[in-house]
Each structure stands twice: as C-alpha cells, then as structure tokens.
Amino acid sequence: MKITKKFKVLSIALFVMIGTTVALNAIVYEPLPNRPEYRGFYYWLDMADYPNLLQSDMPYEVLIGYIVADSVVRAAPGSRIMSDAIRKMNLLTDTAQFIYKYWYAMNEYDPLWFYSFLNKKYPEANISSRSLRSDMRSRMYEDTKFTYVVSDYILHIYVNNTVHIDTSNTKYPEFSKTIAYCKILDILKGGVFPSLDNAIFYNGEQKNSVESGIVDNNYADALVPTIMPDIVFNYVDQWRNGQGGRPLFNQRDGHWIKPNKEYIVFLEFQGVDAVGSWAPVGSIYKQYYTLMPYPHTKSYSMYPIEDGYVIDIRNALGFGTKVPVDEFKENIRKKIEEIKNFGE
C-alpha cells in the first residue's frame, strides 16, 4: 500500500511537471520584431480574434459603454477640440462619474477586449480610441478613484520567483527590470487574463539573476519557473517610490518585489511599439504589450504584505500606512462598488 501510494504521488507530480513544462515552453524566447534592444516579458494579442467590437451576450452596461465609446471616436470633430473639452471637464459632475462607471464595466468584463478596442483602426475618424483614452487619463489620473477604473487588474498575489534583467551594458542602461512570476490568491478586479501561450521573453546576451526559495538557481539561464504562474508582470527598477523616494531597487532595501512574499498590486497593459508603426511587419493584426503596475500612485501600486498587514508607506490609497489585509481589500471593494453603482 505504501509503495502504491508513493507511486501515485510521484505519478501526479510527474504529470504536473510535464504539464508545466509544455505550457511554459509556449513562451517564445526571441526579441520583439525590429526591437532587439527591448528587454523584458511581453504578451501579444492577435487582433484578428476581435473582429466585432459589440457582442450580443455582453452585459448591458458593457455593451452600452462600447456603443458610446465607438460613437464618440467616430463622431469626434478632431483631436485638439476633444483634448480641450476633456481638459476642461469637471470631474465632480455626473457626466464624469458615468464615464468612470462604464469605463470600469468595459475594462473589468474583459481587459483584453478593451485593449483590442484601444488598438482598433478607425480610418475614417479624426481621432483614435488610443488618443481619446490618453487624453482622458491625463485629465483624470490625479483623482484617486481613477486608479480603480484604469487598472486592468487589482490582485492579491503571491510571488513565486523573480528574474532581474540588468541593462547597464545596453542602449537603455536606466531600464533594468524585475519580472515577477505570481500566483493569484484573490481577484479584486479582472476578468480574462493574458495567456502565457502568447508571450515573449527576451534578454539578449545578458546573464540573469533569479531569486526564489523554490526554484533551483540552475534554471537561471532557462528564465522560467518550475511552477506555472497565474500571471507575469514587470517593472523598472529605477522607478522611485514617490517624489524624492528611493528607487524600487536600492542597496539598502534590495528589490521592491521579492519572492515568497504577498502583495496587493494594481496592474495595467502598456502597449509596446514593436516596429515603429503599431503594426508588426508580416502580422498586421498582432499587437504587443507588457503588464506593468499602474504608475500614478506612490509605491507604484505594489503594496507589500507583512505579518498580515498591507504596507502603504505613503498612504497612497488613503486607507492608512499599515492596514490588515482583509480590511484593506474590503476598502478597495467599497471603492469599486461606489464606481459600479453610481446612479442606482
């Protein structure tokens, strides 16, 4: 019985290892098209998979949001006029709050679908959906409520391991990165997640350092964890923790994101201009992007959890500098409900 039981355990472990290896082998280890100097972890989205913006099975508020957004892009008189109108918008009006509400609904339902909308081509329009979103962000990012709207994912994560990319000997020495391979413990916002089947990892000829309590450092050259992550994101080590703060990697504190620790993170897609025209050569439907922390808050929207408390050293979200995890998440959910239920 003992031998049989042990055999079953080993068989299951082997099956998991094989499945993980196959899945992670789907990641392509090559540079972005015409961007060999770029280092990091990138996803790609095949725009051919999103032929129709509107779908009959979408929730009502999501459908209305896309109908309005599509109409605004098509009917906008021009980028300068729209930019001026958005810049003068009063964020305390019902109009602004309804924009928050529908934008949130569209983004939460399927961030990938929303990203496809931002990359949708409107040859006949005077503006693009991407430029419209950029103007809206510029006007609204100072409002802390907007953090919940524009983030594609708000997650409670456990970091399995990290890979650090040193770019000191490259064209962009200021863009050394930390890549975090994570298990999702709780989803506060986020519908569909990007697939590792559609991922590229590239670090040129540079050596990498891997931090983990569970991954054999002999895997440093392979750049993949032995445990399948739920999500992978990266950030720039030279970013500073608030005005006048230390870089997210410094000699005293080390790296901001560390393996075998938990965090609350606000993440968003950042488009990558892979060939200089937002339409990669030979694959006009493919768009490249990376997943990064939302940048317009202190701590860069990455809040460590220590001894059951979320640490927000600059009180960026206004909940306090040291808050129990469940209370912190409940505060986030209350903010989200205010946005989603406006006008009801």
Mean of per-residue pLDDT scores for the chain? 80
Instruction: State the DSSP code for 82.
Output: H
pLDDT at residue 18, rounded to an integer: 36
Burial bucket for residue 18 (CB in 10 Å: 0-12, 13-18, 19+): exposed
pLDDT at residue 287, rounded to an integer: 85
Instruction: State the DSSP code for 240.
Output: B
pLDDT digits (tens, 9 = 90+) for 218-243: 333 344 445 678 999 999 888 777 65
pTM listed for this prediction: 0.84
Choose between 10 and 112: higher pLDDT: 112
Q: Which residue has tokens 């992007």?
A: 289
Going by pLDDT thresholds of 50, 70 and 90, the confidence category of residue 175 is confident
In the chain, where are the structural domains located?
40-45+150-340, 48-144
Report d(CA 136, CA 145) in Å as an integer.
13
pLDDT at residue 15, rounded to an integer: 35
Nearest to 130 by CA among 149, 117, 112: 117
Do residues 163 and 212 make contact, with C-beta atoms less than 8 angstroms apart?
A: no
What are the tokens at 221?
Answer: 């050259």
